[in-house]
Copies of this chain bind each other. A is one copy, B any other.
C-alpha cells in the first residue's frame, strides 16, 4: 500500500536513504556503489545505480560540501557588469567553469568600495572556494585583501599588491601590433589619436605605438593626441590632423569609438579610406567595427581567452598549486578589415 512507502515521495528530492531503501542496501553501501568505490559486489552496484536512476537521485551538494569543507563554487566579483570590457572576461570564465562541476556566483560592485566589501564578505560567508575579481579598466587597483582564506585571481585590472596574481591584456603589444600592421601594408605617415590619458590603457597603447614606430625607423607625423574615448573626440582630432598633415596616410585610434569618429570625419572631408588614409581601432567591438564605413580593422584584446585563463589559474590555485603572483600579460591579436586594406 502507498502508506507503507517509507521513503521517496516524489516531490522532495530523493536522498541517498531513498536509493538505499529502494535497492535494499544500507546507505553506506549505496554511497560506495555510486561513488565507484571498490569493495562493492558488481551486482549490488548495478541495483543501486538502477535505483538511483529511478528516483533521479542527485547528491545534495550541501551535505557533500559540509563533509569535505569545500563548496565547489567560485565568486566572480566584477566592477562593471554592463561594461563591454569586463563582460567578455566574465563570460570566458563562466564558460570555463561551467563546463566543469564548479558553479559561479556573480556579484557586481559597480566600482563602489562599499559594495565591493559587501559582496566580498557575502562570498566569503558563502564559503566560495575561490574568487575572480574583474575590474572595469586596466588601471592597477587595490587588492581585495592580503589574508584572504581563498585564492584570488585579478583579471583585466591588476592588483597593486605584487603578491597577488593578475592577468591583463598586453596593451603595449597591442600598440606595436597596430603599427606593424600599418607599416606592413605600406603606410609611412602615421598619427595616433589616443584616448583619455588618465587611463593606463591609453598610455600603454601609446607606448607600444611609439616603440614600434621607432623600431620601423619612422616617427609619428604629429604629437600623440590625448582626449576622450568618444566618437566626438575622434572627429575633432581627425579634422585637425587632416588640416595640418597633408601627407598623413594612417591613423591609429586608441579605441573603436574614436576610430568610428575618425572614419565619419574623413568621410565628411572627402578623404577616401583606405585609399588615402588607413584607420585602425582597438577592442574589436563588434557593434562598431562591423557596420562602419568601411568595416574597421581593430586590435582584439582576447578578453574571453583572458577570462578562461583566469578561470584555469584559479582552478590550479584552488587545487593547491602555489603561484608566485605578479602580473601576467596576455597576447592580443589584430583583426584586419577594409579600413586598412592595402591599396
Contact = CB atoms under 8 A, between A and B. Distances in A.
Interface stretch (A85-93, A188-196, A208-216): A85-93
A126 interface: yes
Interface in A56-91: 58-63, 65-66, 71, 73, 76, 81-82, 84, 87-88, 90-91
A66 B60 contact: yes
Contact of A232 (B91, B104, B291): B291
B82 A88 contact: yes
Contacts of A17: none
A108 interface: yes
A62 B127 contact: yes
Interface in A2-57: 11, 13
A122 interface: yes
The complex is assembled from copies of this chain, and their number is 2
Interface of A: 11, 13, 58-63, 65-66, 71, 73, 76, 81-82, 84, 87-88, 90-91, 94-95, 98, 101, 103-108, 119, 122-127, 149, 230-232, 257, 261, 264, 287-288, 291-293
Contacts of A90: 81
B98 A108 contact: yes
Nearest to A121: B58
Given A62-B62, A65-B62, A127-B62, A108 B81 contact: no
Contacts of A119: 98
Nearest to A88: B82
Contact of A106 (B104, B126, B231, B291): B104
A98 B106 CA distance: 9
A106 B105 contact: yes
